[in-house]
Amino acid sequence: MVARIVADVYAECLADRSGEPADYIPELAAVQADSFGLCVATADGRVYGAGDVQAPFTIQSISKPFTYALALADRGPAAVAERIDVEPSGEAFNEISLDPVTARPRNPMINAGAISAAALIGGRDAAEKFERVRRCYSRFAGRELRVNEAVYASEARTGYRNRAIGYMLRSFGVIDSDPDEAVDRYFRQCSIDVTCHDLAVMAATLANNGVNPLTRERALSSTLTEQVLSVMTTCGMYDAAGEWVSTVGMPAKSGVGGGILAVLPGQIGIAVYSPRLDRHGNSVRGVAACRELSRRLELHFLHVT
């Protein structure tokens, strides 16, 4: 039944060619704009896919919940909460902002909070800290993920706005280490290549309380998984988070590479890849496909049967 619904939703969304891929760096502008993959992985490890489920693309902002997860595991929730709030901002992902009262980034899903989370990763030096990030994502995906060096070089060459955010965070004491190092780690994490299949397994690992259902390896404790999913619910879709909760009703995260990851705790992980984006920076087909899957499979977390 799930296999048929996945195939139907894929076929239904395929015709929509609206939106444009991200074009702030040449590597993203050069992707195959009409690629489309849809993949569903259950919390007990069954995987259903349609379309380009093995095409690589950069994870971009979908990295944010996973680095936040590692920061929580490394520093503990209280220390992280001192630096990063969990309030939905209703702002664009790259807004240069801090909460005026607390002087903290509003949440870890916008760049200010994500760069702060990257600064909190443990390790002896920058190389070890990033390696720990890469290994953490790899445990969620159940395979070794790698950086797309061309995308990383472009992100690092053009990332003035993110550097500005890093320096702002340093000046307010949210980051008390080298801001360039934290921003560089953020560029690298955004440049990790994944496939739609990988993202579905990462989503299913969150759905399965932090245990990867394919490898059976624990990627995150169940308490921290709950925390990460909570923040994804309120803040994962940027300034479209409210509409997403009403129409899809699942914790989720999108990235400008064209990926969307959504989770129904205890049940299912969903991933979509389609690079054409709407004005919020969310994948057009990704949003449509998640809406349709949610409706047909009755995935909305407030749905009562």
Question: Distance between CA 31 and CA 34 in Å, rounded?
Answer: 9
61 is in an annotated binding site: yes
Q: Would you give the DSSP letter of residue 143?
A: S
Letters for 229-258 (x = contact with ligand GLN by CB under 6 A, - = none) are --------------------------xx--
Using CB under 6 A, which residues numbered 74 to 93 contact ligand GLN? 93
Identify the residue among 51, 213, 269, 281 touching ligand GLN (CB under 6 A). 281
The catalytically annotated residue of 10, 40, 61, 129 is 61
Cα–Cα dist 7/296, whole Å: 12
Q: Which is nearer to ligand GLN, 52 or 95 (CB)?
A: 95
Q: How far apart are CA 68 and CA 144, in angstroms?
A: 20
Answer for which of 162, 227, 283, 294 binds ligand GLN (CB under 6 A) is 162
48 is in an annotated binding site: no
End-to-end Cα distance, the chain: 18
Tell me how many residues contact ligand GLN (CB under 6 A).
11
Question: Among all chains, which residue has been given the structure tokens 């994490």?
Answer: 189
Residue 64: active-site member? yes
Kindly state the smallest distance separating residue 238's Cβ from ligand GLN, in Å. 7
**111 annotated as a binding-site residue:** yes
Q: Which residues contact 270 (CB under 8 A, 6 or more apart)?
A: 38, 39, 40, 200, 203, 250, 260, 261, 262, 263, 264, 290, 293, 299
Which one, 108 or 255, has the nearer CB to ligand GLN? 255
Annotated catalytic residue 171 = no
Residue holding tokens 């049967």? Answer: 305
Q: Read out DSSP for 59-95?
A: -GGGGHHHHHHHHHHHH-HHHHHHH-------S-TT-
What residues from 180 to 209 belong to the interface with ligand GLN (CB under 6 A)?
A: 190
Question: Does 154 contact ligand GLN by CB under 6 A?
Answer: no
Residue 111 as a binder of ligand GLN (CB under 6 A): the answer is yes
Q: Which two tokens stand for residue 16?
A: 């929509």
Binding residues: 61, 111, 155, 162, 186, 238, 256
Binding residues for substrate: 61, 111, 155, 162, 186, 238, 256
Q: Which residues bind to ligand GLN, rule: CB under 6 A?
A: 60-61, 93-94, 111, 155, 162, 190, 255-256, 281
